[in-house]
Amino acid sequence: MVVGEKQNLNENEEVAAIDETVEEVEETVSEIEQLTKELEETQDRYLRVQAELANIQKRNAKERQDAAKYRSQVLANELLPVVDNLERALEIEVEDEKALNLKKGVEMVYNSFVEALKSEGIEVINPVNEPFDPNFHMSIQVQALEEGQEADTVVSVVQKGYSLKDRVLRPAMVIVAQ
């Protein structure tokens, strides 16, 4: 019986060894699954960070373009009242020669201002006889419709508006027919 016992012992040892190997394999598979999951999470985070970086770069490029495109906005906002005052000065009627020469000089300064504004992409918003658009116009008064006028049409401009490229610097103050 000693031989049979030895055989059982060997079989038990083999079964135990197989069980041990199976446990090791299961642990290894579990580790591999965990590492695979961590790798997928890391790859996902990497892709998200990469996308976020690309978005930041695009946003910075757009901000730089806008800064270059609208670089003269602050200066223009400061100079628009000067242009308004020059226009008011040019509306004054003068008769003597000295006053005419002075007015001519003011007109030259005004024209230089207007040309400088145009060269920077600043344009006048002049909506007379156009439909009222609250994006570009500010209605300060309503006037009764006259013959030949359409409702919600700008009939008069009280103060000129200005735009820089596609941005409104100052809306035109207008009178609208109702």
CATH superfamily of 73-177: Head domain of nucleotide exchange factor GrpE (2.30.22.10)
Radius of gyration of the chain (CA): 40
Instruction: Report if pTM > 0.75.
Output: no
- By the 8 A CB rule, do 130 and 153 touch? yes
Q: What is the pLDDT of residue 171?
A: 92
Q: How far apart are CA 96 and CA 70, in angstroms?
A: 43
* Residuewise pLDDT in 10s, the chain (178 residues): 455 555 665 777 777 788 888 888 989 999 999 999 999 999 999 999 999 999 999 998 888 887 776 677 788 888 889 999 998 889 888 889 998 999 999 999 999 989 988 988 888 888 888 888 888 898 888 888 877 777 888 888 888 999 988 888 899 999 898 8
Strand-pairing partners, residue 131, are: 153
Q: Is the dihedral of CA 100, 102, 106, 109 positive or negative?
A: positive
Could you count the other beta carbons within 10 Å of the beta carbon of residue 157?
17
- DSSP element (H, E) containing 63: helix 2-69
CB 123 within 8 A of CB 162: yes
Q: What is the pLDDT of residue 31?
A: 92
